[in-house]
């Protein structure tokens, strides 16, 4: 009994050990947080925007952590439960015998206003998350960007009586916010890259540096008009995401195994045929990168096929259901006067007569254009942050730094497609788990800049790629 009493006495005298206190610090007012950006800010993933992705967006995760230190309500333009699949998205349904993923498009419970229409169900209540998939810095001053003919994601959150409102004007309406995040600029290089640098469309061109600087500084000025604090994020190197790193190694392995010394491709936006050695595929210098959209055609290299060109003809045909019209479109598409003169009886991808299409790869010159623009844009972003004394999440440095993978809370992560846990099925946007990791990196930058002690999120509470 005496021993028991002594033990109780000693226990009662133990000093209480508190965990780290959470605090917004003396500089931060998180009462009203607004998020400005593109698809990454909206919670886009698996090539679509849907309710689960919105709930797992990095701004939603940040707002949840901000709430622990006095942050206020955070409203997103959520799809309803009945329309939870939003725009539709990709779902993993299985794997081929060679291990390649098989995906299908989710087409039920969509938020379409009309069948076969890109327009989404309206959400015009006041919101804190202004993420608009597809938007560029180049677009923020475009009148009518939220009109019926404009971006359907911005149109969805734009009142009918403000159809000509620019995105910048929408941001300027939010001057009562107390804190902000700004992650915009990815699409100013990404759309060019994902199109293989081969698109003639104005929307797929790299934004001129002068336009980027002018528009970005106007956004920052609007967000800091009343001296607000905030965080900005840089643009990642697009060449290190799974969209550009997944197919190349597979092609290289196949060609090497079959003793094929190289390939022939149409490069650039023109019709130049370029030969490159197998060793140049995914090489760190003087190499070519294959897009994820090329996965369907990679197994056909070295065979007599015209599949890619027929698929392209169906995409641009005025009537894809009419085989005669598709055939005529194909003949026009491959006509000699356009410089193609494709001969589908020759071996696809390894012969000058049936070369690998430019839209499915980034050659060295195109990669240089992307990298130079990314560096210039990131210098502008960092300069604005310095001028306004803002926190910076250097997404470019972060994603470049995790190429060999890392472990957090006993879970392994890497940029590998599907198995790496970070990237969704489109190979560009994070999984909800990946967004949580991004949010935690932002919290680290905010705490370091403003002396706050905002707690990190538990990323394991968010999912990675759903396996079938």
Residue 198's pLDDT band (boundaries 50, 70, 90)?
Answer: confident
Q: What is the pLDDT of residue 313?
A: 85
**What count of other Cβ atoms lies within 10 Å of the Cβ of residue 57?**
29
On whether both 51 and 93 belong to a single domain, the answer is yes
Look at residue 175 and tell me whether its pLDDT is greater than 60. Answer: yes
Give the CA distances from residue 196 to residues 100, 294, 365, in Å, rounded to whole numbers and listed in that order: 22, 10, 11
Candidate from 44-48, 156-160, 245-249, 319-323 with smallest mean pLDDT: 319-323
**Strand partners of residue 33:** 179
**What's the confidence (pLDDT) of residue 336?**
56
Q: Is residue 137 situated within a structural domain?
A: yes
Give Cα separations from 45 to 73, 161, 431 (angstroms). Answer: 24, 30, 6
Same-domain status, 294 and 337: yes
**Whether 380 and 350 share a structural domain:** no
Q: Give domain status of residue 405, yes or no.
A: yes
Confidence bin at 320 (pLDDT 50/70/90): confident
On the question of pLDDT at 269 being above 70, the answer is: no
Report, as an integer, the average pLDDT of 434-461: 97
State the total domains in the chain.
Answer: 2
Note whether 43 and 173 are same-domain residues: yes
Residue 376 placed within a domain: yes
Q: 149: which residues sit within 8 A by CB, 6+ positions away? A: none
Q: Give me the pLDDT at residue 419, please.
A: 94
Structure-model confidence comparison of residues 204 and 20, the more confident one:
204
User: How does the average pLDDT of the chain come out, rounded?
Assistant: 91
Average pLDDT over residues 146-152: 91
Of residues 436 and 285, more confidently modeled: 436
pLDDT in tens, 361-398: 999 999 999 999 999 999 999 999 999 999 999 999 99
Q: Is residue 11 part of a domain?
A: no
353 lies in the same domain as 225? no
* Reduced 3-state DSSP string for the chain: CHHHHHHHHHHHHCCCCCCCCCECCCCCCCCCEEEEECHHHHCCECCECCHHHHHCCHHHHHHHHHHHHCCCCCCCCCCCCCCCCCCCCEEEEEECCCCCEEEEECCCCCCECCCCCCCECCCCCCCCEEECCCCCHHHCCCCCCCCCCCCHHHHHCCCHHHCCCCHHHHHHCCCCCCEEEEECCCHHHHHHHHCCCCCCCHHHCCCCHHHHHHHHHHHHHHHCCCCCEEEEECCCCHHHCHHHHCHHHHHHHHHHHCCCCEEEEEECCCCEEEEEEHHHECCCCCCEEECHHHHHCHHHCCCECCHHHHHHHHHHCCCCCCHHHHHHHHHHHCCHHHCCCCCCCCECCCCCCCCECHHHEECHHHHHHHHHHHHHHHHHHHHHHHHHCCEEECHHHHHHHCCCCEEECCEEEECCCCCCECECCCCCCECHHHHHHHHHHHHHHHHHHHCCECCCCCHHHCCCCCCC
Per-residue pLDDT, averaged over 123-127, amounts to: 94
With 80 as the cut, is the pLDDT of residue 62 above it?
Answer: yes
179 lies in some domain? yes
- Band (26; pLDDT cuts 50, 70, 90): low
pLDDT of residue 78: 98
User: Which tokens hold the place of 162?
Assistant: 């403000």
Q: Looking at 129-138, 236-245, 273-282, 380-389, which range is the least confident one?
A: 273-282
Instruction: Indicate whether 213 and 339 sit together in one domain.
Output: no
Please write the tens of the pLDDT for every residue from 405-433: 999 999 999 999 999 999 999 999 999 99
The answer as to whether 25 is a domain residue is no
Of 362, 387, 419, the one marking the end of a domain is 362
Q: Do 48 and 157 belong to one domain?
A: yes
- 362, 397, 427 - which closes a domain: 362
CATH number at 50 reads 3.40.50.1110
Residue 7 lies in a domain: no
Residues 453 and 327 in one domain: no
Structure tokens at 184: 């915009």
pTM of the predicted protein model: 0.92
CA dihedral 207, 209, 212, 217 (to 10 degrees): 180
| 140, 229: one domain | yes
412, 335: one domain:
no
The pLDDT score that the predictor gives to residue 27 is: 79
For residues 296 and 305, give the distance between their C-alpha atoms in angstroms, rounded to a whole number. Answer: 13
Whole-number Å distance between alpha carbons of 270 and 281: 21
Distance between first and last Cα of the chain: 60
- Which range of residues forms the domain containing residue 351? 244-362
Considering the domain architecture, whether residues 178 and 310 belong to the same structural domain is answered as no
Does residue 16 belong to any structural domain of this protein?
no
Domain closes at, from 362, 378, 410:
362
Q: Residues 86-99: what's their mean pLDDT?
A: 92
Q: How confident is the model at residue 340 (pLDDT cuts 50, 70, 90)?
A: low
Q: Is the same domain home to 66 and 84?
A: yes
């Amino acid at each position: 009994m005496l021993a028991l009493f002594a033990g109780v006495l000693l226990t009662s005298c133990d000093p209480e050990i508190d965990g780290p206190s959470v605090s917004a610090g003396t500089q931060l007012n998180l009462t009203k947080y607004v998020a400005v950006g593109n698809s990454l800010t909206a919670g886009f993933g698996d090539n679509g925007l849907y309710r689960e992705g919105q709930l797992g967006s990095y701004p939603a995760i940040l707002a949840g952590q901000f709430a622990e230190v006095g942050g206020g309500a955070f409203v997103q333009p959520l799809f309803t439960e009945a329309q939870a699949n939003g725009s539709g998205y990709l779902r993993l349904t299985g794997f081929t015998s060679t291990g390649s993923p098989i995906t299908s498009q989710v087409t039920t419970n969509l938020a379409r206003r009309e069948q076969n229409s890109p327009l989404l169900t309206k959400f015009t209540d006041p919101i804190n998350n202004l993420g608009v998939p597809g938007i560029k810095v180049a677009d923020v001053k475009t009148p009518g960007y939220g009109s019926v003919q404009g971006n359907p994601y911005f149109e969805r959150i734009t009142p009918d009586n403000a159809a000509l409102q620019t995105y910048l004007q929408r941001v300027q309406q939010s001057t009562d916010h107390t804190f902000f995040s700004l992650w915009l600029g990815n699409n100013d290089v990404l759309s060019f890259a994902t199109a293989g640098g081969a698109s003639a469309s104005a929307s797929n061109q790299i934004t001129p540096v002068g336009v980027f600087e002018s528009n970005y500084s106007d956004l920052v000025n609007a967000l800091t008009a009343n001296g607000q604090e905030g965080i900005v994020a840089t643009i990642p190197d697009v060449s290190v995401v799974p969209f550009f790193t997944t197919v190349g190694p597979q092609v290289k392995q196949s060609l090497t195994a079959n003793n094929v010394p190289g390939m022939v491709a149409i490069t650039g936006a023109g019709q130049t045929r370029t030969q490159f050695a197998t060793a140049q595929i995914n090489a760190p210098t003087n190499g070519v990168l294959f897009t994820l959209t090329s996965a369907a055609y990679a197994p056909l290299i070295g065979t007599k096929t015209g599949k890619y060109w027929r698929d392209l003809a169906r995409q641009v045909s005025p009537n894809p259901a009419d085989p005669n019209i598709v055939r005529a479109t194909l003949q026009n598409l491959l006509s000699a006067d356009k410089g193609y003169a494709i001969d589908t009886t020759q071996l696809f991808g390894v012969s000058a007569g049936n070369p690998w299409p430019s839209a499915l790869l980034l050659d060295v010159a195109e990669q240089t254009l992307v990298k130079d623009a990314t560096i210039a844009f990131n210098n502008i972003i960092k300069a604005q942050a310095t001028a306004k004394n803002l926190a910076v999440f250097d997404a470019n440095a972060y994603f470049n730094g995790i190429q060999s993978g890392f472990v957090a809370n006993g879970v392994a992560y890497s940029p590998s497609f599907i198995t790496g846990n970070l990237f969704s099925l489109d190979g560009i946007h994070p999984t909800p788990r990946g967004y949580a990791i991004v949010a935690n990196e932002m919290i680290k930058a905010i705490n370091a800049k403003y002396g706050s002690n905002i707690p990190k999120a538990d990323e394991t509470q968010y999912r990675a790629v759903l396996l079938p």
